A and B are shown apart, each in its own frame.
Chain A
Amino acid sequence: MEFSFVQELIHKLKTFQAMREEVVTATTSCTLRDVQGMMRQHRISGVPVVEDEHLLGIVTIEDILRALEHGYIDDPVRGWMTKQVVTVGERWPLTETMSVLDRTGYGRLPVLSAEGKFIGLVTSDSILHALLVELERLLGKDEERAVAESAAAVPPPPAGQHWEFEIPAGDYDAAGLTSVRLKRELASHGVPPEVQRRVAIATYEAEANLIIHTTSGGRIVVDLDERMVRIVVQDDGPGIEDTEMAMRHGWSTASDLVRSLGFGAGLGLPNIRKCADGFQIHSEMGRGTRLDLRFDLPEDTAGQSGPAEGKK
């Protein structure tokens, strides 16, 4: 009973409500020794590297120890920071963020705004603090009423839906099959047609990219709860040299064969970003590419679980 009350609390809070905004950050030209100083002074174990509000990497205590051991502690951060940083979105439910903390074992996670800007850090401490503040606020009211209110505000979360699709490389003819399948699944779980369509378009383009541009294909993982559809598209390479370039309209490395089939117009990634309510792309050469997409459901979708109306 007590436990489910706390769970509801966590579910209701968004990630930005539990993050720390005043964060010590470094720039790429700081030396690792500078960062070591920051860590000591502020008693922290990780420093995000941020320029122009963009997160470029993170330096952790392990990076510092390695630098001391191998004698490059006076090098600039640029060459040694961890560039593949796991991040969370400001509008994610706190439950999501907590499960990422738990899964990765990292002590801190950078929070990005919808526009992809770095806006703060969540740590277990900042989450605990947010929970205590929220509890205090609720208990400040008539206690019973507060509990009732909180329970009423949060419909019992229906069992979340989860799908995984493997997309092999090179099978051009199969493009769109996963998006069509996913669309049908979403329809049968009450996702409104307008959202279904945006999800399907984004998935189609993501699927096409896995087929066309990757060495060994990739995966599309979809989670649906009563608030949003979350999609992670991930592959193991080759990675994108310059993601900013890849995001431009009309920029493409597709072959003539691919173009003759009507793909490779360089419109995919920009359209995915346009369709989604949250979009993040991370890529590293030799490692692979990851898209994190979020599609918000309208408020009144909550609790609705019957099949949606078919197409008119």
Chain B
Amino acid sequence: MTVAAMAEALGLQAVTAVADQEIVGAIATDLISDVLAHGEPGMVWLTIQTHRNVAAVASTQELAAVIVTGDRPVSRELLALAEQQAVTIFVSEDDTYGTSGRLYELGVH
């Protein structure tokens, strides 16, 4: 499954430019260190964090995309760094649990 196909299927709202690529898996956590320890290149990260570090983590780990869940507003600082680092960010209306469940059903394990 690709990033664009996932966004379409889940009805996600893109808040940055979308760099389409294959998704290799997903991680749902709000701990920065957890993503740094267990993230892998090509993963999608589901989180409620919306500060600038999110983009720095995504770039460090070469994640495919970040999904901010629960319809949370994304900070301007985060968007600026995401743009600069070519990090793709979506917002999901659904919370982390619901979004994860639907992503899992789409075959992203």
Compute how far the CA of A197 lies from the CA of B35 in the bound complex, rounded to whole angstroms.
13
User: Does B2 count as interface, using CB distance less than 8 angstroms?
Assistant: no
How far apart are B41's CB and chain A's nearest CB, in angstroms?
Answer: 7
User: Does B49 count as interface, using CB distance less than 8 angstroms?
Assistant: yes
Q: Is the CB of B32 within 8 A of A183?
A: no
Q: Chain A residues with Cβ under 8 A from B51's Cβ?
A: 172-173, 261
User: Does A43 count as interface, using CB distance less than 8 angstroms?
Assistant: no
Interface of chain B: mostly helix, strand, loop or mixed: helix
- Specify which of B31, B41, B60, B62 is in contact with A262 (CB 8 Å cutoff): B31
Chain A, Cβ-Cβ closest to B32: A262
Q: Is the CB of A271 within 8 A of B56?
A: no
Interface of chain A: mostly helix, strand, loop or mixed: helix
- Interface size of B by Cβ–Cβ distance < 8 Å? 24
Q: Is the CB of A268 within 8 A of B41?
A: no
- Specify which of A177, A180, A197, A263 is in contact with B41 (CB 8 Å cutoff): A197
Q: Is the CB of A267 within 8 A of B60?
A: no
Q: How many pairs of A and B residues are in contact by the CB < 8 Å rule?
A: 76
Q: Chain A residues with Cβ under 8 A from B33's Cβ?
A: 205, 208, 262-263, 265-268, 271
Compute how far the CA of A204 lies from the CA of B47 in the bound complex, rounded to whole angstroms.
18
Chain B, Cβ-Cβ closest to A202: B36
Compute how far the CA of A175 lies from the CA of B37 in the bound complex, rounded to whole angstroms.
16
Q: Is the CB of A175 within 8 A of B36?
A: no
Q: Is the CB of A200 within 8 A of B34?
A: no
How far apart are B32's CB and chain A's nearest CB, in angstroms?
Answer: 4
Compute how far the CA of A204 lies from the CA of B60 in the bound complex, rounded to whole angstroms.
8
Q: Is the CB of A201 within 8 A of B60?
A: yes
Compute how far the CA of A224 lies from the CA of B30 in the bound complex, rounded to whole angstroms.
33
A311 with B41, Cβ < 8 A, contacts A204-B56, A261-B53, A262-B32 known? yes
A200 with B60, Cβ < 8 A, contacts A173-B77, A176-B53 known? yes
Within 8 A of B (CB), among A18-44: none
Q: Is the CB of B53 within 8 A of A265?
A: no
Q: Chain B residues with Cβ under 8 A from A172's Cβ?
A: 51, 53
Q: Is the CB of A201 within 8 A of B36?
A: yes
A265 with B31, Cβ < 8 A, contacts A197-B41, A201-B61, A271-B36 known? yes
A183 with B59, Cβ < 8 A, contacts A173-B51, A204-B36, A271-B36 known? yes
Q: Chain B residues with Cβ under 8 A from A103's Cβ?
A: none
How far apart are A262's CB and chain B's nearest CB, in angstroms?
Answer: 4
A176 with B57, Cβ < 8 A, contacts A261-B49, A311-B41, A312-B21 known? yes
User: Does B52 count as interface, using CB distance less than 8 angstroms?
Assistant: yes
Chain A, Cβ-Cβ closest to B86: A311
Chain B, Cβ-Cβ closest to A310: B86
Q: Chain B residues with Cβ under 8 A from A311's Cβ?
A: 41, 62
Chain A, Cβ-Cβ closest to B56: A176
How far apart are A12's CB and chain B's nearest CB, in angstroms?
Answer: 34
Chain B, Cβ-Cβ closest to A268: B33
Q: Is the CB of B53 within 8 A of A175?
A: yes
User: Does A179 count as interface, using CB distance less than 8 angstroms?
Assistant: yes
Compute how far the CA of A267 lies from the CA of B60 in the bound complex, rounded to whole angstroms.
16
Q: Chain A residues with Cβ under 8 A from B56's Cβ?
A: 175-177, 179-180, 204
Q: Chain A residues with Cβ under 8 A from B57's Cβ?
A: 176, 204
Within 8 A of B (CB), among A220-264: 261-263
Q: Please give 7 more A-B residue pairs, beta carbons under 8 A apart, in addition to A176-B55, A262-B30.
A: A172-B51, A175-B32, A180-B60, A197-B61, A262-B32, A263-B33, A267-B31
Interface residues in chain A, defined as those with a beta carbon under 8 Å from any beta carbon in chain B: 172-177, 179-180, 183, 193, 197, 200-201, 204-205, 208, 261-263, 265-268, 271, 274, 311-312
What are 6 contact pairs spanning A and B, CB under 8 A?
A176-B53, A180-B85, A262-B33, A271-B33, A271-B36, A274-B37
A-B pairs, 6 with minimum CB distance: A176-B56, A267-B33, A262-B32, A200-B60, A265-B33, A271-B37
